[in-house]
């Protein structure tokens, strides 16, 4: 998992494994990857999206940050730049996107743009994250860039504005809202993918977990306990009753990000599955094989992921739906068995009557 050395101040430094030639498919959640693979197969689709994005003017976005934020390099925010280059090197990203620091009291980061995506993090992230947490956050945003998420997130922006402008048209609004809800669901899975990229960039599970704790509770972890935070995640997933399940649906349906405790739980599950160690061991898809990706295989993997989530979920509503499904299956099975028994009995009675009459 990487050996340990010390820096000039004799502090332990984890030696990270460079993931040479790694493909973004290595960290993409199955539901995210299935959608991405299908969209990438649509020839010219990205060009259409970029044409629509012209209405928002990507150059204008960059100029906005160029004018009102700090562009990071070896002279400005050198500590941030060093963590940025380390994260990029670990993920084998040669061409660094532009990176800006924007004034904001909330810990946050984002990847913006289509032709030349750039990354923005807030001053709160710079001030409240230690080096390992910052590296994980920057790796998260690099993961978004490498996966091409910005292109498809732009679709959500366009459709959301369309939905607002067509709110007077009931049929159109309902159809658009259904599409937007589905895209929000995809984006939440894209965030899980980026969390994995952040972990691979930093290769420090504790730091990735601390980052999510700070996103949930600010920047001071002196009074926060990791085990207790994971207990929160377990309670969020399985605690309460059907009323809580309904509230959770309302909280997440129109949200782009899973809640921090859910993200922590999902990242822990990915580590426990062995996939993280497998990648660090050198077993991962390479970029030069991206052209061989199978749409059908990725879609099947996405469907299996949703099935596994449904079957293993501790949520009360999902548990009820499983029971109803099992009950329906038992009822159908009983009906089939009853029909077969009735047919068998009728056949025997028929044979018995024939023998008597002869």
**pLDDT tens, 63-93?**
889 999 999 999 999 999 999 999 999 999 9
Give mean pLDDT, residues 112-140.
93
At what angle are helices 149-165 and 131-147 packed, to 10 degrees? 70
Predicted TM-score of the model (pTM): 0.76
Q: Is the model's pLDDT at 40 over the cut of 60?
A: yes
Residue with tokens 């969390």: 195
pLDDT in tens, 306-343: 566 656 656 665 565 666 666 544 544 444 444 445 44
How are the residues of the chain apportioned to helix, strand and coil, as percentages rounded to the nearest 5?
70, 5, 25
pLDDT at 7: 53
Q: What is the DSSP letter of 22?
A: B
Residue 13 β-bridge partners: 5
Q: 243 and 308 in one domain?
A: yes
Neighbours of 88 (CB within 10 A): 21
CA dihedral 295, 297, 303, 304 (to 10 degrees): -160
Same domain? For 62 and 74 the reply is yes
Dist. CA 358–CA 279, nearest whole Å:
78
Pairwise CA distance, residues 177 & 165, whole Å: 12
Burial class (CB in 10 A: 0-12, 13-18, 19+), 181: exposed
Residue 33's pLDDT is: 79
Look up 231 and say whether it is catalytic: no
| Residues 304 and 343 occupy one common structural domain | no
Q: Which of 79-93, 153-167, 175-189 has the highest mean pLDDT?
A: 79-93
Q: Which pLDDT score is estimated for 26?
A: 94
Per-residue model confidence (pLDDT) at position 334: 47
If asked whether residues 225 and 329 sit together in one domain, one would say no
- Per DSSP, the residues of 191-258 read HHHHHHHHHHHH--HHHHHHHHHHHHH-S--TT--HHHHHHHHHHHHH-S-HHHHHHHHHHHTT-SS-
Residue 220 is predicted with a pLDDT of 79
> Is a pLDDT exceeding 70 seen at residue 58?
no
Structure tokens at 64: 């906005």
Same structural domain, 77 and 159: yes
Quote the mean pLDDT of the chain: 77
Please give the structure tokens belonging to residue 249.
């649906």
The answer to whether the CB of 59 falls within 8 A of the CB of 79 is no
Q: Average pLDDT in the 269-285 region?
A: 96
Check whether residue 262 and residue 336 sit in a common domain: no
Structural domain for 129, as ranges: 4-313
Confidence of residue 240 (pLDDT cuts 50, 70, 90): low
Q: Say if residue 194 is in the same domain as residue 331.
A: no
45-60 burial, b at 16+ Cβ within 10 Å, e below that, comes to ebeebeeebeeeebee
How high is the pLDDT of residue 132? Answer: 97
Could you give the C-alpha distances from 61 to 16, 53, 111, 112, 148, in angstroms and in order? 34, 11, 11, 8, 18
Whether residues 112 and 202 share a domain: the answer is: yes
What is the count of structural domains for the chain?
2
CB atoms within 10 A of CB 329: 10
168 and 204: one domain? Answer: yes
Which range among 215-224, 235-244, 317-326 shows the weakest confidence by mean pLDDT?
A: 317-326
The number of beta carbons lying within 10 Å of the beta carbon of residue 207 is: 21
Q: Is the pLDDT of residue 278 over 90?
A: yes
Catalytic residue among 133, 141, 191, 266: 141
Between β-strands 118-122 and 99-102, what pairing exists: parallel, antiparallel or unpaired? Answer: parallel
Whether 192 and 331 share a structural domain: no
Same domain, 269 and 223: yes
Assess whether 268 and 333 both reside in one domain: no
């Amino acid at each position: 998992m990487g050996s340990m050395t010390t820096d000039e101040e004799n502090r332990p430094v984890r030696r990270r494994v460079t993931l040479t030639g790694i493909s973004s498919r290595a960290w993409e959640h199955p539901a995210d990857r299935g959608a991405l693979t299908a969209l990438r197969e649509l020839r010219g689709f990205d060009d259409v999206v970029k044409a629509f994005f012209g209405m928002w003017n990507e150059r204008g976005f960059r100029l906005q940050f160029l004018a009102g934020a700090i562009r990071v390099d070896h002279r400005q925010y050198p500590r941030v730049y060093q963590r940025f280059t380390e994260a990029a090197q670990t993920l084998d990203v040669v061409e660094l996107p532009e990176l800006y620091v924007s004034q904001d009291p909330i810990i946050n980061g984002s990847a913006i743009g289509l032709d030349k995506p750039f990354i923005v993090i807030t001053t709160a992230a710079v001030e409240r994250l230690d080096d390992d947490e910052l590296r994980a956050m920057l790796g998260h945003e690099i993961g978004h860039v490498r996966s091409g998420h910005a292109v498809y997130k732009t679709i959500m922006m366009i459709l959301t504005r369309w939905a607002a402008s067509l709110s007077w048209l009931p049929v159109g609004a309902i159809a658009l809202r259904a599409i937007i809800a589905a895209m929000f669901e995809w984006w939440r899975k894209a965030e899980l993918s980026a969390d994995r990229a952040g972990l691979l960039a930093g290769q420090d599970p504790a730091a990735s977990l601390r980052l999510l704790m700070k996103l949930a509770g600010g920047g001071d972890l002196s009074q926060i306990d990791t085990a207790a935070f994971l207990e929160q995640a377990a309670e969020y997933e399985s605690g309460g009753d059907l009323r809580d399940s309904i509230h959770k649906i309302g909280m997440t349906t129109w949200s782009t990000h899973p809640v921090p405790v859910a993200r922590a739980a999902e990242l822990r599950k990915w580590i426990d599955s062995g996939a993280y160690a497998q990648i660090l061991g050198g077993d991962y898809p390479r970029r030069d094989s991206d052209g061989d990706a199978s749409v059908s295989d990725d879609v099947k993997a996405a469907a299996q992921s949703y099935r596994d989530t449904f079957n293993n979920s501790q949520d009360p509503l999902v548990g009820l739906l499983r029971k109803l499904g099992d009950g329906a299956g038992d009822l159908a099975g009983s009906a089939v068995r009853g029909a077969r028994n009735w047919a068998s009995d009728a056949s025997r009675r028929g044979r018995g009557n024939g023998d008597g009459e002869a």
